[in-house]
Amino acid sequence: MTFDPVPERPAWARATRAVTIVGIVALSAVVVIGGASYLGRQVGQAIGSDDVGNAPVDVEPGQPVTVEIPSGSSGQDIGALLAAQGVVRSALEFEVAVRSVDAAQRLQAGTYDMVTLMDPADVVAMLVSGPGPAVFRVTVIEGLRVEEILAKLAEITDHDYSDFEEALLDGSVSTSLRELPEQRELRDWEGLLFPDTYEFSRNVGPEDILQRLASTMEQRVNSIDWTAWEELGYTVYQGMVVASMIETEVRVEEERPLVSSVIHNRLALGMALEIDATVLYALDTRDVGQFDRSVDSPYNTYATTSLPPTPIAAPGRASLAAAAAPAETEFLFYVLSDLEGNHAFARTLDEHNANVAKAREEGILP
């Protein structure tokens, strides 16, 4: 098959076609630029100016931000809000991401935990999925007694103190750290709830909250090497008792292993531990003005050479570690030496009495 040759187009026609193509490209550019400018103006109007919504934000990336998207918010409203809080670089960037997946009608109101300078596509996906269940955080500090922990939980949740108490006593919460008696008292749970910061959903029950604290204590205790302590003939649970005394006696971090050494040394010599905090626990008070070393109680370490039957507070991991690995010293005594919580340690009673006299002279002790 043959084709007739196509005659060459005259030069004027070729020139006209080139001009036409250039014109079409230029017009397309105007349309794209004009469209973006229009979208930018629309977002700018949502936040009050043509510049604010389009101006990139200058924030440090990855910082946590809680964003509340009000019900009835338009995509433009949300973009302005996200840009204002630094979640996206600009409202325009967010609008483009919304349009690219046609998500304008699927964005959900609610409270979101985001971070600064997120990928706009990730933000859109999060808003389409909707907010997760409302959460709350609670911090249980070291050294609290079990009833103080329950009071804290009751204060910050919708559950009553009695709800938490019942969960501990009726078998709803378990622990592997000791065998609990069938007829339980609240004191049986002393020291078995780990002090930490926790996050829970608002609909969580009291038994689930407490089980989380109990399970976390199991994990922390089991992460400690108790070999040397057990070789002395003690149980891990008794190590927790020592840790609880360290927790209540120490305010200066570096002193934990030192106080632990005093306890270990006294136990080795069969001496009474004479820990003031155990006496206050026996008296069910924290008021040192009520201190009475003659109280008849197995928690009175002035009257017995044994360890208390349970911990006297919730120990943190540092105190647990100190209980298992004390400093190597010959110290048998310690006394408060300043108002910052430091102690003076002594090997002999004479040295200790001198430290006590000095503390009284300086007004540290009554």
Per-residue model confidence as pLDDT tens digits over 223-257: 999 999 999 999 999 999 999 999 999 999 999 99
Rounded Cα distance, 308 and 245, in Å: 10
Return the structure tokens found at 87.
């979640």
pLDDT at residue 198 in the model: 93
Residue with more model confidence, 269 or 9: 269
More reliable by pLDDT, 235 or 50: 235
What percent of the chain lies above the pLDDT cut of 70?
84
Is 36 a residue whose pLDDT tops 90?
A: no
| pLDDT value of position 332 | 98
In the predicted structure, residue 21 carries a pLDDT above the cut 70: no
CA 212 to chain centre: 13
Q: Measure CA 62 to chain center.
A: 17
Measured distance CA(187)–CA(193) in Å, rounded: 12
Task: Work out the pLDDT band at 210, boundaries 50, 70, 90.
Answer: very high
**Who wins on pLDDT, 4 or 327?**
327
Using an 8 Å Cβ cutoff, are 146 and 137 in contact? no
Contacts of 88 by beta carbon, 8 Å cutoff, 6+ apart: 57, 79, 82, 94, 117, 118, 120, 123
Q: What is the mean pLDDT of residues 327-348?
A: 96
Range name among 9-13, 131-135, 168-172, 313-317 with the lowest pLDDT average: 9-13
Residue of 35 and 294 predicted with greater confidence: 294
In this prediction, residue 25 carries a pLDDT of 37
Least confident of 47-56, 197-206, 244-253: 47-56
Question: CATH 3.30.1490.480 in the chain, residues?
Answer: 26-132
User: pLDDT tens across 232-241, in order?
Assistant: 999 999 999 9
Pairing of strands 110-115, 64-69: antiparallel
E strands along the chain, which residues?
Answer: 64-69, 110-115, 135-139, 197-201, 333-336, 343-346
Q: Which two tokens stand for residue 350?
A: 């004479």
Q: CA 240 to CA 63: how far, in whole Å?
A: 37
pLDDT at 57: 59
Q: Give the CATH fold of the 26-132 domain.
A: Dna Ligase; domain 1 (3.30.1490)
Q: Judge whether residue 52 has pLDDT over 90.
A: no
Distance of alpha carbon 128 from alpha carbon 271, whole angstroms:
67
Q: Indicate the SS3 state at residue 88.
A: coil
> Quick one: pLDDT at residue 118?
94
Q: Which residues pair with 197 in a beta bridge?
A: 139
Rounded mean pLDDT of the chain? 86
- pLDDT surpassing 80 at residue 44: no
User: How would residue 327 be classed by pLDDT, with cut points 50, 70 and 90?
Assistant: very high
Looking at residues 191-202, what average pLDDT do you find?
A: 93
**Looking at the predicted structure, is the pLDDT value of residue 20 above 90?**
no
pTM beyond 0.85: no
Q: Name the one residue in this structure whose structure tokens are 């780990």.
A: 194
Tokens describing residue 33 = 């630029």
Indicate the pLDDT class of residue 266, thresholds 50, 70 and 90.
very high
When pLDDT is cut at 50, 70 and 90, the band that residue 56 belongs to is low
In the block, residue with structure tokens 């338009």: 74
Q: 116 to each of 60, 123, 233, how far by Cα in Å?
A: 7, 11, 54
The answer to whether residue 33 scores a pLDDT higher than 90 is no
Q: Is the pLDDT of residue 135 over 80?
A: no
- Among 31-45, 236-250, 345-359, where is mean pLDDT lowest? 31-45
pLDDT of residue 46: 37
Taking 60 as the threshold, does the pLDDT of residue 5 lie above it? no
- Coil, strand or helix at 112: strand
Beta strand extents in 202-357 (DSSP E only): 333-336, 343-346
Over the stretch 71-122, which tens digit does the pLDDT of each residue have? Answer: 999 999 999 999 999 999 999 999 999 999 999 999 999 888 899 999 999 9
